[in-house]
Structures are given as C-alpha cells and as structure tokens.
Amino acid sequence: MNAPARPTLRTLRQLTEAGVIAPGHAAGLAAVVERYAVALTPEVLAGIRATGGDGPLARQYVPTRAELHTAPEERPDPIGDWAHSPVKGVVHRYPDRALLMPTHICAVYCRFCFRREAVGPGHGGLSEAELDAALDYIRRAPTIWEVILTGGDPLVLSARRLGQILSALDDMPHVAAIRIHSRVPVAAPERIDEALLAALAAPHKPVNLAVHCNHAAELTPAAVAAARRLRRAGVMLFGQSVLLGGVNDDAKVLERLFRAMLAAGIKPYYLHQLDRAPGTAQFAVPLARGRAIVKALRGRLSGLAQPTYVLDIPGGAGKVPVGPDYVRENATRVEDPRGIVHDLGPG
C-alpha cells in the first residue's frame, strides 16, 4: 500500500508546525505571505532540514521580513516583461524568441524571484481562450524560431495540458526549438512521471529543459533520478542559476554546484546576476564581486561546467554577458587563468 502523499507547506501555521520558522516569528511574517506566495514541497523541506534553518535552501524559500523593504533600484517588473507583451501570456522581446507563460503557479516560490509580483495562486493562468490567442500570436509571427515556456512553472501543468501546448508548437513550421524553464526537477522530482515524460517526448522538435538550481544540495538523489528520466526521454537539460548572496556567492560553492549539475547530465548554461525585484536586496551581490567570483572558476573547472555569467539589463533592454575580461591593451595581450599576462604579437 502506497504511503499518502506529503503536502506542500503553504501557510505560516504549516511552516511553524514543521519547525521551519520559530513560533514567535510567525506574526511578523503575515504581511510577507499576504503579498508574496509561499510553497515548500516535501523535497525542499527535507533539503532545508538537511542543510539547516539558516542554510542555502532555507534562504531561498523561507519568507523573511526583509522582503517588505523595497530598495530604490528595485522595480516590480525588473526586466521589462510587461512592455514587451503583445498579448496576454506572451513576451516577445527578441525577434527570434518568444516567451509563452501558460501558468503563473509554481511548485515552490523563490524569495528572490524576479516575477514575484506576478506569480502565485492569486494570479492564476491563461484561460482556454487566452491560451488560444497566445498560440495564435506565435503562429502568425514567422520570425519566432524558439518558444520558451515559463511563467510560473510549466511543469506544474497536467501532462494533458502541457502535451496540448507542445503539440500546437510542434505543428508550427517556423518554430524550430522548444524550451521549458522549471524548478520541478529539483523541487518536486516525483512530478517527472511517465505521463509527463510522454508529453515531453511527443514533439518531433527538440525539447530543451532549463533546470533552475542554485546550490549543489538541491541535486538530491531524487532530483538526479528525475534528470536521468528526462534524458532517457530525449529531453536536453541545461542548468540555470542565480548568483545569490548567502547562498552561492563563493567560487568553491559554485564549483560544487556546476560539477554536480554536469555529473547529473545538466549542462550549466546561465549564471544570472540578480534581477532587482522588490524585497530582494538581501540576495544582491555587486557585479564587480560577481565577476571576480566567476573569474576564480576559470582554470579550475572544466569548460563544460562553466555557464555564461549574464545580466538582464533593467527595463527590458535585453540580456548581455558580463563575465571577466582576459584581453588587454587593444587585443595585443591576454591574461591566463593564473593571472599572468602574455604578449600575442602582431596581428
């Protein structure tokens, strides 16, 4: 007989009873959870207990009063999604790519999320009519070469609904690649079941999955097994991480994360500079320090395990690499991973 499914923690009372927050702190967090959604899956709760109440997983998921403070540089839509949304559920910032956001629900809610003002149970998702309109926009835009399913987390959708969306995209001749961004493989790996795998394997076009993961402790045996199931279904896995103060703002911590990703069959793809949404100042790492941390990885970590360090320019101007430079003096000299500068000679 199967054991009953363990619930996802969503209320301050549940967090208190689980020992995630101290009883005396609950009252002070009421305004936080009223404004920003909270969800801790059983997998995340186990990880928090394993790494400590003030450890790297707790810091990512457990609400704090610091979230009520909005710094001057923070904005509700830090990367300009709203200004580039031609129809509800679509963001079309680059000519060849479009985001499709069929849901605003997530399996878990990160305290640093750049869409934290627009996700959660109170925000719902697209109705059938709205989803049809969003797909029709993509269908009528021949420059769109890649569609990126995000939200919210697309892998919280039923296998049937996800399959319908993927089938519609598969039928569009100009769409050559499909990408999905998700926390589910690390936060709720049990959702990667046979029905979901069948939906992901059905399209004839490549399905790429960007797995959001910020600390090696998130790559539990269950998460690694979920990644293995996805790879066997033909899904290509890429890792997406955010540089977070108090979580992974250390070269050795990032080295362990990226090695663990690659060992699990997940190619580290992007390391993001934090997008400054309201209440996220506690996670901010200065760009200069981020560049120094990333530079420390060069020469000690395989190129396969090194993501591109990127910044989404506030306001919607786009994403650019911001990693360290090694070329010097009008491209006549170059610095090696040890910091020694070499002459390149003429030409």
In angstroms, the Cα distances linking 257 to 28, 53, 59, 228, 266 are 33, 20, 16, 17, 11
CA–CA dist 107, 51 (Å, integer): 20
**89-140 pLDDT, tens per residue?**
999 999 999 999 999 999 999 999 999 999 998 887 899 999 999 999 999 9
Task: Identify the active-site residue in 113, 153, 191, 309.
Answer: 113
pLDDT in tens, 284-299: 999 999 999 999 999 8
**306 belongs to a structural domain:** yes
CA 264 to chain CA mean position, Å: 17
Which pLDDT score, from 0 to 100, does residue 70 have? 95
Tell me if residue 335 falls in helix, strand or coil: strand
In a domain, 40, yes or no: no
Which domain CATH number covers 299?
3.20.20.70
Task: Please tell me which residue in 93, 111, 191, 295 is annotated as part of the active site.
Answer: 93
pTM: 0.95
Neighbours of 254 (CB within 10 A): 26
In a domain, 344, yes or no: no
CB 313 within 8 A of CB 319: yes
Report yes or no on 47 lying in a domain. no
- Alpha helices by DSSP H, listed for 36-157, are 42-51, 56-61, 128-139
- The reply to whether 93 belongs to the active site is yes
Return all residues near 290 (Cβ < 8 A) that are at least 6 apart.
Answer: 243, 249, 273, 309, 322
Specify if 260 maps to a domain: yes
* Candidate list 97, 139, 291, 328, residue with the active-site label: 97
CB 262 within 8 A of CB 297: no
- 50 located within any domain: no
Q: Determine which one of 270, 275, 295, 309 is catalytic.
A: 275
Within-domain flag for 52: no
> Residue 177 and residue 206: Cα distance in Å, rounded?
6
Active site residue 110: yes
| Residue 143 vs residues 52, 93, 147, 167: alpha-carbon distances, Å | 48, 12, 11, 19
pLDDT score, position 76: 94
Note if 213 is an active site residue: no
| Domain tally, the chain | 1
Domain housing 251: 74-335
Q: Is 115 a catalytic residue?
A: yes
Q: Judging by beta carbons within 10 Å of its beta carbon (0-12, 13-18, 19+), is residue 255 exposed, middle or buried? A: middle
What's the pLDDT score for residue 1? 43
Catalytic residue from among 49, 94, 161, 231:
94
Catalytic residue flag (residue 97): yes
Residue 51 placed within a domain: no
Active-site residue 171, yes or no? no
Q: Which of 110, 137, 153, 276 is catalytic?
A: 110
